[in-house]
Structure 1
C-alpha cells in the first residue's frame, strides 16, 4: 500500500473512532445545544482541528529527525500501547469548563476546541502517527477528517445520537488498533 494513503486511512479511521465519546465530542454536543447554530460550530471545529493537528503533526515529524530509529521504534510502540489503555478511560466535560466569550459562535468554538484538544488523545495520536508514518500532510489531513467524521454528526444530530452509540465498544476497537500499531512498531513493522 502507498505510504501516504495508508497514513491517511489509518489516521482518519483511528481518530474518528477515538473521538467518539471524547471530551471534544462532548464539547461539540454542548456547543450545539447552547448555540443552535451548526455551521459556525462546524467551521470552528475545522479551523481549530487544522491548527491543533498541524502543530501536533509538525512535532511528530520533528521527533523523527531527533530520535534514532531504534529509540523511535520503542517510543512509538510504547506510546501506541499507552494510547490503547487511555482509550478505555472515559472522558468527562464539565459544563462550567466552557466559558462563552463575546466573540460569537465561530470564534468561541475555535478557542474552546483548540484548548480542549491540547494534550487530548487525538492530539497525542496525531503526534505519534506523524512520527510513525513521517508524512505530515497525509496524517494531518487524515486526523482532521477523522475529527470531522465524529464531530459533524454530533453537532447536527445532537446528544441523542451519542446515547445510541456503543461507546465502550467503539473505544475498544480504537484501543485494539492502537495496541496493534504499538506491537507492530515494537517489532519493527512499518517503520522502514
Structure 2
C-alpha cells in the first residue's frame, strides 16, 4: 500500500531539505552558480549526482537493515539520528579541495564535484539511515533527491540574494530538532 509508505518519502524530503540549508553542498551550489552562471545545466547535474549518490546510500541503508537485528538497528538508527541532530548544529564550510575548477563546463564540473562532495555528507548519511528505517530504496531516494532540489534550486537560481537572507542558525536548530524527534519516534514506534 503506497499510502502506508508515503511518510518515508515526505519525512526524507523534509529532513534532507532542512539539513541541506547551509550545508557544504549548498555552499558548493552557490559557488557553481556564481562561477558558471548557467543554472539549468547546474540543476540537471545536481539532480543526477543526487539520484546516483543517494540511491547508493539508500541501497546501503536497506542492506544494513537486512543484516542487523531489528531491536539493535532501532538503537543504532536512533543514535545516528541524534548524531545528525548534533552535526546539523555545526556550520559547514567548503574545503579548499572542494572548490569548483571548471575545466569541463557547468554540467560535468557540477556532476563530478557535487557527487564527490556529497560522499560522507550529513544528507547522504541521513539518507542511508532513513532507508534503513523505512526499508525503501525508491521512496527514500526520491524523497532525498526532492529535498536536495528544494534546498539547492533557489540557491542556484537566485544565488547570493536568497542565501544571505536565510536565518541559518534558526534553520540548523529546526533541522536538529527534526532529527532528534526522528530519533525519538524511531525508539518509540519501532
TM class by shorter chain equals over 0.9
Q: Which consecutive unaligned segments of at least 5 residues does structure 1 have? A: none
Count how many residue pairs are aligned between Structure 1 and Structure 2: 189
Give secondary structure in 2 for the equivalent of 1:54: helix
Tell me whether 21-30 or 95-104 shows the greater mean CA deviation: 95-104
Counterpart in the other structure of 1:13: 14
- Matched with 2:111 is 110
Instruction: Tell me, in whole angstroms, the C-alpha distance in 1 between the residues paired with 2:52 and 2:120.
Output: 14
Aligned pairs (5 A) from 1:112-191: 112-187=113-188, 189=189, 191=190
Is the Cα contact below 8 Å between 2:81 and 2:179 reproduced in 1?
yes
SS where residue 164 of structure 2 aligns?
helix
Aligned 1:13-162 pairs, distance under 5 A: 13-94=14-95, 97-162=98-163
Q: Distance in 2 between matches of 1:38 and 1:118?
A: 23
Report SS of the residue matched to 1:2: helix
Distance 2:156 2:75 in 1: 38
Q: Is the 8 A contact 1:73 1:186 kept in 2?
A: yes
Q: Is the 8 A contact 1:3 1:133 kept in 2?
A: no
1:119 alignment partner, SS class: coil
After the TM superposition, which segments of 4 or more aligned residues of structure 1 sit over 4 Å from their partners?
Answer: none
For the Cα contact (< 8 Å) 2:89–2:176, is it kept in 1?
A: yes
User: With structure 2 as the length reference, what TM-score do the two structures score?
Assistant: 0.96
CA positional deviation for 1:101: 4.9
Post-superposition shift, 1:99? 4.3
User: Distance between the aligned counterparts of 1:158 and 1:92, measured in 2?
Assistant: 17
- For residue 165 of structure 1, report the CA deviation from its aligned partner: 0.5
Q: Does the Cα contact within 8 Å between 1:79 and 1:128 map onto a contact in 2?
A: yes
**What is the CA–CA distance in structure 2 between the aligned matches of 1:164 and 1:41, rounded to whole Å?**
22
The Cα offsets for residues 100-147 of structure 1, whole Å up to 9 and x where unpaired, read as 253221010000000000000100000000000111111100000000
Question: Do 2:98 and 2:113's aligned partners in 1 also have CA atoms closer than 8 Å?
Answer: no
